[in-house]
Amino acid sequence: MSWLQPVDSRRARRRSRTRRLIRDVSSVLIISGLLLVIDAGVTILWQEPVTAVIALVKRSQIDKRYLSYHSAPLTPVDRHALSNLATTQQQIRYLARREARQAATGDAIGVIAIKKLGISYDVIQGTDTQSLEKGPGHYPATAFPGLGQTVAIAGHRTTYLAPFRHIDALKPGDSILLTMPYGRFTYVVQYHRIVLPTALWVTKNVGYERLVLSACNPLYSAAQRIIVFARLQSVVPTTGAAASS
């Protein structure tokens, strides 16, 4: 029966190799899992506090034009144009276009406040990396409030103070206030959707003014976007807009 020994030996070697392969694969999976946990831990324990400090420093340096509106009075050309507009709505639209023309990437253009979430942040012009480090960023390709179109704002849910961390908690009927140099705009939440980053339709105009908030989803991932849709409910002109008539 000695002729069976080489066969048994080969089988034993194959079993040994299989066990080593399973052990190696298991080790790789365990190490990968640990690395993911460590990465998440680093993000929470190091990156979030550090980026929060960076955001605070940058926010202290931005040009808050919406707060110094009266220090930059309307030009005679602006006042003449506004005096020929019959309604407050027309005047607000004129001022909205004026602000949009003047806004540079990285400027603070207004304030977004969401009472339900207990937050109030400067709105920054632009959605590039540097702008979003300062606060929620206005998509330059979308309108300013008051123009009857879609106003889109993006914000972080983790890092850089995570201004939009809890926007998933917003429900239909919740209000969002946007304060601009020329008016205060109240939007009421309609619904929210989870979409792919390529879903560009969310910023399209729809025939009425709406506010769109966008953030990465789920937390600590950029695989999707959570989108909150809110419709304009009311507009209150600021002194700057009202006094121009």
User: Are residue 132 and residue 33 in the same domain, yes or no?
Assistant: no
The pLDDT value given to residue 71: 41
Cα gap 139→124, rounded to integer Å: 9
Domain housing 162: 64-242
Per-residue pLDDT tens over the stretch 190-232: 999 999 999 999 999 999 999 999 999 999 899 999 999 999 9
SS3 state at 221: coil
The pLDDT value given to residue 161: 84
User: Are residue 85 and residue 120 in the same domain, yes or no?
Assistant: yes
User: Are residue 117 and residue 200 in the same domain, yes or no?
Assistant: yes
Q: Is residue 51 part of a domain?
A: no
Percent of the chain with pLDDT over 70: 71
User: Are residue 114 and residue 216 in the same domain, yes or no?
Assistant: yes
Mean local confidence (pLDDT), 50-78: 60
Tokens representing 194 are 């989870």
Cα gap 212→189, rounded to integer Å: 9
Cα gap 28→34, rounded to integer Å: 10
Return phi, psi of residue 37, to 5°. Answer: -65, -45
User: Are residue 129 and residue 12 in the same domain, yes or no?
Assistant: no
The region of weakest confidence among 58-62, 145-149, 171-175 is 58-62
pTM: 0.75
How many structural domains is the chain composed of?
2
SS3 state at 230: strand
Cα gap 182→66, rounded to integer Å: 8
Strand 108-114 to 150-154 pairing: unpaired
Radius of gyration of the CA atoms of the chain, in A = 27
Per-residue pLDDT tens over the stretch 80-116: 999 999 999 999 999 999 999 999 999 999 999 999 9
Q: Is residue 153 part of a domain?
A: yes
User: Are residue 24 and residue 127 in the same domain, yes or no?
Assistant: no
Supply the DSSP string of 177-193, one letter for each residue.
Answer: EEEETTEEEEEEEEEEE
The dihedral over CA atoms of 162, 165, 171, 176, expressed in degrees to the nearest 10, equals 0
Which CATH number fits the domain that encloses residue 184?
2.40.260.10
Cα gap 114→65, rounded to integer Å: 21
